[in-house]
Amino acid sequence: MKTHYQINIYREKKLLGTFTPNHLASQNSIQQLIATLTAIDPIEVEFVQVTEDMRVLIYQNGQMRTLSSQYSYQNTTADSVF
């Protein structure tokens, strides 16, 4: 499984959106993004890592297809990842 991360952005405990960094993004770029977002009051940022990738597959007409994917996330920090 390819390791990937997600940045969840909250305001007043309400999820505003998510950002999935490109796996080639540098540590500096991700830390700069997090610093910029957290400088905006009252924005909160949560950095999570995918720990499990569950997929529902179907084999049809000689081909394997993914019907759906579900990820499990674990809180982490950008510093611990890079």
Q: Give residue for tokens 């000689």.
A: 62
pTM above threshold 0.75: no
Domain ranges of the chain: 5-81
- The pLDDT of residue 78 is above 70: no
* Preceding amide of 42 cis, omega within 30: yes
Residue 25 — φ and ψ, nearest 5°? -65, 140
DSSP state of 11: E
- The pLDDT of residue 10 is above 90: yes
The whole-number pLDDT of residue 26 equals 67
- The pLDDT of residue 1 is above 90: no
pLDDT in tens, 11-60: 999 999 998 877 666 677 778 888 888 888 888 888 888 888 889 999 99
